Amino acid sequence: MSPIRVFMLPIRLSGNKYMDLLVDSLRRSGLTVEPINKRNLGKPGRGDVVHLHWPSFIYSGSNAAATTAKTAFFLFFLLYLKARGIRIVWTVHNVWPHSGGATRYHRLMRTILCAFCSRIIVMGEASKREVVRLFRAKPGKLVQIPHGHYKEAYSLSGADIRKRYGIPQGAYLFLFVGRLSPYKGLDLLLSSFAAMADENAHLLVAGEPSDDFDASKLSGMGGNLHVSLGFVKDEELADYVAASDAVVLPYRNITTSGTAILALSFHRPVVAPDIGLLRDYLNSDVSILYDPSEPDGLVRAMREMRESGARFRDPKGYEAKLRDLDWGRISSLTSRAYSENAVERPEVRNRDLSR
């Protein structure tokens, strides 16, 4: 019997190290991992795996005509793979795509995809429940595999981020880093930071705005707010995190947060809402979670973080979390998901990430 080959779509993604780390870990485990595209559709054979990520990029376009054409191709693609005996696996990075959101169209396309999948990989218990409820996925198809860490993915370049933005070395620095989008709650973060009224606390917001983000919200906040509206280069991402005292993620909704895992990878505590995967991945050793239904929940959490001092300096809590997010473990779980048949019963949960 020929060994399983994995055809990954996409196999790389600019500005996202996740795909590099997943592919490299699977190859180290002995699997053959290749890209798939329109030019090599005939290469996968019976028993091979096509592993999809961010499928809305495949089936939706920038206008109605493009979406119609891409939808037709996507449906043909699924039928073609199924007819050839090729297993389809989907990793659910986002329950709903960030662009477009919870529309009937996306619900239909994701429901169809779930019907064709042999396995559906989710990164936490909250996502599992949502995929079953929203897309009629059979529980026995779902397997929970966490998002891996970024310990070796980003290196310190030596850039002095505090000096660059005029932030005193002794000041307490909250960091928000990543793409600036409305769902990430920057307006709530700004109002909460202002409500802290702490002259020794600073907030650095660094990232590229999405097309639907109003960057004017970041003006007129005073000297302790520092803003960099542009893509944070991979070479300096670790320097930004290392310069901070805490990372703040005021998200309104979330399926996966690579930024939270990045913070843990560099032993930085996180302030975040007690929702979804954030609840799955973060515990009291590495974070302060707040109730997003409370109007002052974020500001109280930021004040508590500011006053916590040594509580979050012990590396043991971070290292315990990072062991759960080890790429060797993730490649083993993923390889098993490729080879096992789905069962018509709920999966036993993998190791509890929130412990």
pLDDT tens string 138-150: 999 999 999 999 9
pLDDT at 220: 65
Contact (Cβ atoms closer than 8 angstroms) between residue 273 and residue 295: no
pLDDT digits (tens, 9 = 90+) for 1-33: 467 899 999 999 887 899 999 999 999 999 999
pLDDT at 310: 79
Least confident of 73-77, 152-156, 180-184, 199-203: 180-184
Contact (Cβ atoms closer than 8 angstroms) between residue 25 and residue 52: no
Round the average pLDDT of the chain to a whole number and report it: 90
CA atoms within 13 A of residue 146's CA, in its CB half-sphere? 26
* pLDDT score of 46 more than 80: yes
Contacts of 194 (CB under 8 A, 6+ apart): 221, 222
Domains 5-148+326-339 and 161-323 alike in fold: yes
Domain residue extents for the chain: 5-148+326-339, 161-323
CATH for 5-148+326-339, among 3.30.70.260, 1.10.540.10, 3.40.718.10, 3.40.50.2000? 3.40.50.2000
CA dist., res. 132 & res. 277, Å (int): 16
pLDDT at 351: 47
Contact (Cβ atoms closer than 8 angstroms) between residue 148 and residue 177: no
- For residue 349, what pLDDT band results from cuts at 50, 70 and 90? very low
- For residue 280, what pLDDT band results from cuts at 50, 70 and 90? confident
pLDDT digits (tens, 9 = 90+) for 161-176: 999 999 999 999 999 9
Q: Give me the residue label for tokens 């696996």.
A: 89
Contact (Cβ atoms closer than 8 angstroms) between residue 110 and residue 134: yes
Beta strands in the chain (DSSP E): 5-9, 32-35, 49-53, 87-91, 119-122, 142-144, 172-177, 201-207, 225-229, 246-248, 270-273, 287-290
Average pLDDT of the segment spanning 96-108: 89
CA dist., res. 126 & res. 251, Å (int): 15
* pLDDT score of 328 more than 60: yes
pLDDT at 168: 95
* pLDDT score of 255 more than 70: no
Share of the chain above pLDDT 70, in %: 94
Angle between helices 104-116 and 64-83 (to 10 degrees): 10
Average pLDDT of the segment spanning 313-332: 93
pLDDT at 346: 37
- For residue 348, what pLDDT band results from cuts at 50, 70 and 90? very low
* pLDDT score of 355 more than 60: no
pLDDT at 347: 40
244-262 burial, b for 16+ CB within 10 Å, e for fewer?
Answer: bbbbbbbbebbbbbbbbbb
Residue 259's H or E segment, with its range, is: helix 258-265
Contacts of 91 (CB under 8 A, 6+ apart): 51, 52, 53, 121, 123
pLDDT digits (tens, 9 = 90+) for 260-273: 999 999 999 999 99
Reported pTM? 0.86
* pLDDT score of 352 more than 70: no
* pLDDT score of 344 more than 70: no
- For residue 296, what pLDDT band results from cuts at 50, 70 and 90? very high
The CATH code of domain 161-323 reads 3.40.50.2000
pLDDT at 117: 98
CA dist., res. 285 & res. 323, Å (int): 14
Indicate the residue type of 2: S
CA dist., res. 172 & res. 104, Å (int): 45
